Amino acid sequence: MVVCVCNAIRECQVREAARAGATTACQAYRCYGRQAKCGQCVAFAREIIEQERAAA
């Protein structure tokens, strides 16, 4: 599933970044050399990161 349309970042990429230590959407996007643009995706990305941190 695509999380960020502006940057073409997929859910699996956000999860991977979270497992690598990203704690915010911005940190996760930076793992791929990108940054949030319109901001519509940040809440969803944050939710995915929280799920990964809870599962760790």
- Measured at the CA of 24, the angle between CA 43 and CA 44, to 5 degrees, comes to 20
Domain limits for position 16: 2-55
Instruction: Check which CATH number belongs to the domain holding 14 and give it.
Output: 1.10.10
Question: Could you tell me the two tokens for 28?
Answer: 């996760």
pLDDT per residue as tens digits for the range 3-18: 999 999 999 999 999 9
- 4 beta partners: 9
C-beta of residue 45 within 8 angstroms of C-beta of residue 14: yes
C-beta of residue 44 within 8 angstroms of C-beta of residue 3: yes
Count, residues in the chain? 56
What is the band of 24 on the pLDDT scale with cuts at 50, 70, 90?
A: very high
With a cut of 90, say whether residue 45 has pLDDT above it. Answer: yes
What percent of the chain is predicted at pLDDT more than 70? 100
* Mean pLDDT within 31-52: 94
Number of domains in the chain: 1
